[in-house]
Amino acid sequence: MRNLILYLSLLLTMPAVAQTPVSHIQSDFLNPASGKILVAAHRAAHKKHPENSIAAIKEAIRLGVDIIEIDVKVSKDGIPMLMHDGKVDRTTNGKGDLEEQTYKELRKLHLVQDGKKTGKVIPTLREALEVAKGKIMVDLDLKTDRIDEVIEVVESTKTEDIVFFFDSDYQILSKVDAVSKQFMLMPRAHNIAMADSAIKLFKPEVIHIDDSFNTPEVCKLIKNNHARIWINALGKPDELIQQGNVKQAVDALITNGANVIQTDEPEKILKYLKESKLHR
């Protein structure tokens, strides 16, 4: 399996070089049998900072989060930038589709937090990866089909070891996979048949499942194929966590074997996992 080869390569190289903070995360990520639950901050740690901002990435690193989930689109003139929505209306003081505006135009905009304009700008993917490099892993949610520009940034920043590509569109992931088998992938599956297809197509490092089929059968299939299992706490589980019911929410997510949790409440989940000896 590709992830097993990456894991063994990492083990072989680690004694020869000074370990970075991300080394332990990489070891666990590429070893689903480690027993450790990893935590992913949705759109980075954005409780106090704008989503998909450099400040939110730095906050996730400060908290000790394992993975940041960031969304990437590409400007009209070919610059990959962080943005979840098609339009910039909700998250900036601007309007219109990001991919129909140039980098120069987009950098004049300011991100908003709780409806208020901040002094922060839309980051480029390059800026985000330079901050993350050596410190945290990155779930790159592809909100674009212009993957050549995205891949160029990953390669030129030499962050192939921390980035994994996520998409529900298997054709897009196939294009990424065709560029290099060393790229780490996370396909999304909506049922056990899709999970099985994802395994056969990509031999991925991690598979994104949904709560509707978070079953022992699905988790066993994925683990038997040496991949991690990504589950979302977004929505009701995060609401329970906000109400103080962290154990109830987390235990329900991981009971069948899911071992990566994406959340808007990374600090609270990390605290519970550490107290339960389920995290470093």
Residue 147 forms part of a structural domain: yes
Domain count, the chain: 1
Q: State the pLDDT confidence band at 6, using cuts at 50, 70 and 90.
A: low
For 168, other C-beta atoms within 10 Å of its C-beta total 14
Distance CA 152, CA 176 (A): 11
Residue 18 forms part of a structural domain: yes
Region of 158 (left: φ > 0; alpha: ψ -120 to 50; beta: rest) is: left
CA angle 57, 63, 66 (to 5 degrees): 70
Residue 108 forms part of a structural domain: no
Residue 217 forms part of a structural domain: yes
What CA–CA distances, in Å, run from 52 to 58, 91, 232, 270? 11, 9, 18, 20
Query: What pLDDT is attached to residue 21?
Result: 83
Residue 268 forms part of a structural domain: yes
Assign residue 234 the CATH number of its domain. 3.20.20.190
CA angle 144, 186, 188 (to 5 degrees): 80
> Which residues constitute the domain of residue 8?
2-73+127-275
Residue 120 forms part of a structural domain: no
Residue 209 forms part of a structural domain: yes
pTM: 0.93
Q: State the pLDDT confidence band at 9, using cuts at 50, 70 and 90.
A: low
Residue 122 forms part of a structural domain: no
The answer to whether residues 75 and 107 touch, using CB atoms and an 8 Å cutoff, is no
Please write the tens of the pLDDT for every residue from 51-101: 999 999 999 999 999 999 999 999 999 999 999 999 999 999 999 999 999
Please write the tens of the pLDDT for every residue from 134-171: 999 999 999 999 999 999 999 999 999 999 999 999 99
Query: What pLDDT is attached to residue 16?
Result: 42
Distance CA 68, CA 65 (A): 7
Judged against a pLDDT cut of 50, whether residue 46 lies above it is answered with: yes
Residue carrying the six token digits 């991925």:
204
